[in-house]
Structure 1
Amino acid sequence: MKRENQSGVSEFLLLGLPMQPEQLGIFFTLFLGMYLTTVLGNLLIILLIRLDPRLHTPMYFFLSHLALTDICFSSVTVPKMLMNMQTQDQSIPYAGCITQTYFFIFFAGIDNFLLAVMAYDRYVAICHPLHYAIIMTEELCLCLLAGSWFLSCASALIHTLLLAQLSFCADNIIPHFFCDLAALLKLSCSDTSLNDLVILTAGAAVVIFPFSGILVSYGCIGFSILKVPSTKGICKALSTCGSHLSVVSLFYGTIMALYLSSSLGQSHEKDIIASVMYTVVTPMLNPFIYSLRNRDMTMALGILSRSSNLVAK
């Protein structure tokens, strides 16, 4: 195998999902359907928010960007996995693998920060309703969004630049369906102590800080509700935060499952299943959660459906 720059390899081989050859068609159809559902569902969320003036609020501004991020996040890994299933060619170029790793970390980071920003938005709406319009200005929303993109970009760039400095010798087989950073570090024949340190600091911060912000925001919301407990107040808080709480639980639940499967030294199969939940299932379910559990989104969907029927007639 020819050497290429510092990598020592020109391509990697992705083993993909743990499945039998006779199951290939079933899995291809399943994941193609899930990917199309993810793309179409999140595009519908974006379309509804753009078309309905009642949804031109900070909450739905962030939701539209979360939907866009979910499309991009899923598109980083699933199309390549589907192509590998279809062509039976498991190879991915060295540069393509590094690029996939960058965008995977980048969009995963944006997801984390956007969920934290949305939790802060819900905190302001419930705990400071009279000052909501003053606090959540368009300028602040744009700054929070730009900050999320900048921090995620910086984190992904640090990881991939350090990864590009490593050497990869004879072993180029990745036991995964995408170029996972942890799997790549295990293949390297260089010293990865600096990479591991960055994962424990900058990498963990991208998850821990937003998650802590979410916990603090909802802690304040819970304290505010308990100060003046009432059935009406609790129902209003649940209707306001229910969808976001469901998405947060699903997102961080799968992250924790992925972390536990890795830290406990479980099999590659269980690690891959946790990754599928994190990269494929969660982005697909988010549109359903916001559509079914959000009254404003349901009303906007009904109006769009009625308008489509009138146009068709």
Structure 2
Amino acid sequence: MDSRNQSEAIDFILMGLSSNPKVKFLIFNLFSFVYITTLTGNCFLIVLIRIMSSLRSPMYMFICNLSLLDITFTSVTVPKMLVCLMSKRCFISFNGCFTQLYFYHFLGCSECFILSIMGYDRYVAICHPLRYPQIMSKTCIQLAQAAGSLDSSTLVPYIITARFIILPFQKFTISFVICPHSAELSCTDTS
């Protein structure tokens, strides 16, 4: 068998959750409602935190960052899933699949880092309540820069995606509505 990557110009077929049109329509409405609610709620939080001067503490800054990450995280997969639910046959290109896989992991890692920083913020607020403003004024900027640069969360998904992008693929149907880890699609042993 040729060891080169044979997946240069292929499309993957996303099979979806159901083939029944009524079930697809019901799922489409449910996911549309949840997606719009997620976008609206997170945008409302961001605007509220930016407008109200009483919400200028580090905790609310981290909540604002988490809301922004939540908007982008859900926007990586849900729009394509909604399009697939309303079409008869749904395709995703090889590059689109790996782009989705990369950003899914990138934003997931970023959320983990933000949640870790928020955990530290709450630890300082609970264990050192009198020194909280002093401690967080020094470390908040450093933590925000670390979370803002997201250097660490860039490396992990790059390794995951680069590891699979060189594999040959012969399975062209995906039984999900999003791209799974690409090892499931490869025709070689990935262990």
TM-score by length of 2: 0.90
Partner of 1:61: 61
- Shift in Å at residue 19 of structure 1? 5.6
RMSD of equivalent CA atoms: 1.8
- Measured after TM superposition, the shift of residue 23 of structure 1 is 1.7
User: Residues 171-227 of structure 1, C-alpha deviation per residue, up to 9 Å, x if partnerless?
Assistant: 21111110011xx2122023423xxxxxxxxxxxxxxxxxxxxxxxxxxxxxxxxxx
Q: Distance in 2 between matches of 1:155 and 1:56?
A: 32
The secondary structure found in structure 2 opposite 1:129 is coil
Among all aligned residue pairs of Structure 1 and Structure 2, give the percentage whose two residues are the same amino acid: 41
The residue that corresponds to 1:89 in the other structure is 89
Q: CA 1:117–1:19 in 2, change beyond 3 Å: closer, same or farther?
A: farther
Structure 1 counterpart SS, 2:130: helix
- 2-structure distance, mates of 1:160, 1:81: 21
Answering whether residue 165 of structure 2 is matched by residue 167 of structure 1, we say: no
Q: State how far apart, in whole Å, the 2-side matches of 1:116 and 1:23 are.
A: 39
Q: Which amino acid aligns with 2:148?
A: A
Q: Which residue of 1 aligns with 2:132?
A: 132
Indicate the SS of the match to 2:131: helix
Alignment-derived partner of residue 185 in structure 1: 183
Deviation at 1:20, TM superposition (A): 2.3
Tell me by how many angstroms 1:112 deviates: 1.3
Which residue number corresponds to residue 74 of structure 1?
A: 74
Amino acid at match of 2:141: E
Report if the CA contact (8 A) 1:9-1:172 is conserved.
no
Structure 1 regions of 5+ residues with no counterpart? Answer: 194-313
Specify the SS of the correspondent of 1:100.
helix
CA contact (8 A) 2:15 2:89 kept: no
Would you say the 8 A contact 1:9–1:168 is kept in 2?
no
For 1:1-313, list aligned pairs within 5 A: 6-7=6-7, 10-18=10-18, 20-137=20-137, 138-146=140-148, 149-169=150-170, 171-181=171-181, 184-193=182-191
Paired with 2:76 and 2:116, the residues of 1 have a C-alpha distance of 22
The one-letter amino acid of 1:160's match is T
User: Which residue of 2 is the match for residue 222 of structure 1?
Assistant: none
Alpha-carbon shift at residue 98 of structure 1 (Å) = 0.5
Letter aligned with residue 173 of structure 2: I
TM-score where L is the length of structure 1: 0.56
- 1:34, 1:16 → 2: CA distance? 18
Q: 1:54 to 1:141 in 2, by over 3 A?
A: farther
Measure the CA separation in 2 of the matches of 1:61 and 1:45.
11
Task: State the alpha-carbon separation in 2 of the partners of residues 100 and 192 from structure 1.
Answer: 20
More helix by share: 1
**For 2:28, what is the secondary structure of its paired residue?**
helix
Structure 2 segments unaligned to the other structure (5+ residues): none
Is the 2:59–2:118 Cα contact (8 Å) retained in structure 1? yes
Runs of 4+ in 1 over 3 A off after TM superposition: none
SS of the residue corresponding to residue 92 of structure 1 reads strand
- The answer (yes or no) to whether the contact 2:101–2:179 under 8 Å persists in 1 is yes
Residue 7 of structure 1 deviates from its aligned partner by 1.8
Alignment check: 8 A CA contact 1:58 1:141 kept: no
Q: Residue 140 of structure 1 aligns to which amino acid in structure 2?
A: Q
After superposition, the Cα gap between the structure-2 partners of 1:19 and 1:41, relative to the gap in structure 1 and judged at 3 Å, is farther
The 1:141/1:54 distance shift into structure 2, 3 A limit, reads: farther
Q: Distance in 2 between matches of 1:77 and 1:185?
A: 19
